[in-house]
Amino acid sequence: MKAAYISLVNAHHDLFVKTGILHRDISPNNLMVDHSNHRQGVLIDLDIAARVNEEGNPIDGLPLPVAGTLPYRAWELIRPERPPRAYYRHDLESFFYSLLWIVFHYQDGVYYHNPMAHVTSFDFDENWSGTRGNKEGFLIAAHKRSLPPAPLVHEWLNKLRTLFGCAYDAERLELYAVKAPSISPPSSPTSSVSSRVSSIANFSSTLGGRVSFKAFMEILITTDSN
């Protein structure tokens, strides 16, 4: 299973790097395994995919479709409206939630009823803010909501959870620093505002370089891909 998952992350990255296409609906239903080679994953369904640049802006200038399957959306995308941008890291976060769901619902490739599977539930919870807050708390307050024992929990899941949680925590501090008034009077108010907007945009695409293909893969390849 690990080898197939890694191959899916690699295929998704190749698609983005070579064509600019971001899948935007990474979820268990769209992550398949080649029956003739169980080490090879197959990524399907590009219905809401979009061509975007590294800053997350649609290359064709058209509005992005609403983000993908709700329980597997990146935390930032849990809202009803169309997102202004689609970052590569959003799909990486969806890969994490998909893996989390698979680990707690499948055993040796067979679906089974796991009494602890509720820890992977990020379904709509009465309202958008509550649903978003549930996932935010899961990522940022990991020490208050530990994962029960399961395959890959210590090996991958806890590390990936920390990757995203720490990155979002750092984003809060960074955005506060960027938006805070400067102690020294700027030489040009216009240039100051422009530089702050640019700084926020550059930080957001990878959360300050913390969430990237390299960072994600470094966690996955620390062990053999069995």
Q: What is the pLDDT along the chain (226 residues), one digit of tens a residue?
A: 899 999 999 999 999 999 999 999 999 999 999 999 999 999 999 999 999 998 999 999 999 999 999 999 999 999 999 999 999 999 999 999 999 999 999 988 888 888 888 888 898 878 999 999 999 999 988 777 889 999 999 999 999 999 999 999 887 776 555 555 544 455 555 444 444 444 445 578 999 999 999 999 999 997 644 5
Output 220-223 pairs: Cβ under 8 A, ≥24 positions apart. 220/2, 220/5, 220/6, 220/9, 220/156, 221/6, 222/155, 223/2, 223/155
Give residue 194's pLDDT: 42
Q: Go through the chain and tell me how many residues it has.
A: 226
- Nearest 10 degrees: Cα torsion 154, 29, 138, 221: 30
Give residue 201's pLDDT: 54
Query: 2-220 architecture in CATH?
Result: Orthogonal Bundle (1.10)
Give residue 193's pLDDT: 40
Query: Domain spans of the chain?
Result: 2-220
Angle of helix 158-179 versus helix 88-105 axis, rounded to 10: 150
User: Contact 67/94 with Cβ under 8 angstroms?
Assistant: no
The model carries a pTM of 0.87
